[in-house]
Structure 1
């Protein structure tokens, strides 16, 4: 016999929980593994996360359809999944912030070099030194964007979710409502953030910038694949939806720009 360390009531050696206060009886010593496990549990992690990530990679429509249809125990909660992945991403990016900035800078240099190859007659020698949006040059502007992205990455992911969901609702519509499209986009953003994090870590390991190229191309392909499966679209139908998506995206971006120009015109 022994006493509960929380309420001091009597417990037996076979008990796993105290009959009085309900506290779990801790018998093992603290290890790094146990600390990490407790941290994941506190964040909402469970064994279904690995299963969910695996399914999202090759059968995303199964996760989405089953969750929407009411199967909630088989797969991880989409909000918890996204919150944990973005938290891990922010931690990783902050630990390697200089490498993150260097990857972004190298990518910008590559884009300028490619544009010089495609249009060699245009003088681009002063592009990087030209002032932009109040900053001295392109490098200073890029650094400010990278600092902001590193600091508010998780908030940016959640902030843009309603925007992505609205576009998906307009482009694909029924039978899914806005809330169901939101769940779909949360799952898709979760796996894309996870794969983006893996590509970043791989880029650090092999010294090849896969990260930014990866996150620019993969979302288009992955979204197209998932919605094709969800709506059972033919290739032609999917292509039409992609054109519609681009049109809606441009329209939603142009509206605030036009409003800004109009407001500036009438108030100057």
Structure 2
């Protein structure tokens, strides 16, 4: 017999939890491994995250259909998954912000060491003002600064936009909430793969990240929705064109408004 260290209630030594206050009985000493494990648990990370990421890579429709149909224990919660991956991405991009800028311009990370100029002086077009900025490069750098500073917020804000477009494009049998879950899962795995490719690009000195963010999301979205809706190639092509048109209209309108305000 022993006493609970939280409420001093007498408990059996083999018990893992106190029957009086419900606190966990701590038997092991604190180690770095235990601290890291407790941190992941506090953030919502568990073994299901690895299973979920693995399935999302090659069988995303399985994760989505089972979760929407009520199988919630087998796979990770989509919001927790997205929040953790977004936080990890923000940390990595912030730590290597210069490399992130160069990759976003489709330049290799090795150019940082080769270039003696500051990041803001690379490929500057000095005579082309845009949106109140001196040139395109200043505009791009300002845009990247905002992206890095508000990365988490922007990631969550874009989710309902993607969901809205997907809901209009693909429609039933899924409602808006279910399309939101679908897009959270898709954006989670895309962010995770993007993070891995970003780290790999830093390691091998080849810009794989830019190619990823331009092509793979399109292919992955098409593959997943084709599986979910059992579409033929022709049906998928029509849906894709519809998606692109809606996407361009939604994002073109703010750009045109910005240009109009700039010209005033």
Question: Which residue pairs with 1:7 in the alignment?
Answer: 7
Q: TM-score, normalised by structure 2?
A: 0.87
User: Which of 137, 148, 166 is the matching residue for 1:150?
Assistant: 148
How far apart, CA to CA, are the structure 2 residues paired with 1:9 and 1:135?
A: 68
SS of the residue corresponding to residue 168 of structure 2 reads: helix
Structure 1 residues 106 and 231: CA distance shift in structure 2, 3 A: closer
Cα-to-partner distance string for 1:13-44 (whole Å, 9 max, x where unaligned)? 21211121111011111111111111111111
Question: Which residue pairs with 1:40 in the alignment?
Answer: 40
Measured after TM superposition, the shift of residue 258 of structure 1 is: 5.4
Question: Which residue pairs with 2:225 in the alignment?
Answer: 227
Measured after TM superposition, the shift of residue 103 of structure 1 is: 2.2
How far apart, CA to CA, are the structure 2 residues paired with 1:19 and 1:144?
A: 57
CA contact under 8 A between 1:89 and 1:197: conserved in structure 2?
yes
Measured after TM superposition, the shift of residue 262 of structure 1 is: 7.5
CA contact under 8 A between 1:129 and 1:138: conserved in structure 2?
no
User: Which of 198, 208, 211 is the matching residue for 1:210?
Assistant: 208
1:163 and 2:161 are equivalent in the alignment: yes
Cα-to-partner distance string for 1:78-126 (whole Å, 9 max, x where unaligned)? 1111011101111121222222123234549xxxxxxxxxxxxxxxx97
Structure 1 residues 243 and 26: CA distance shift in structure 2, 3 A: same
- Residue ranges of structure 1 left out of the alignment (5+ in a row): 109-124
CA contact under 8 A between 1:105 and 1:139: conserved in structure 2?
no
Cα-to-partner distance string for 1:103-157 (whole Å, 9 max, x where unaligned)? 234549xxxxxxxxxxxxxxxx973653332223333322222221112111111
Question: Which residue pairs with 1:112 in the alignment?
Answer: none
How far apart, CA to CA, are the structure 2 residues paired with 1:127 and 1:52?
A: 45
Question: Which residue pairs with 2:94 in the alignment?
Answer: 94
How far apart, CA to CA, are the structure 1 residues paired with 2:230 and 2:243?
A: 17
Q: TM-score, normalised by structure 1?
A: 0.86
- Residue ranges of structure 2 left out of the alignment (5+ in a row): 109-122
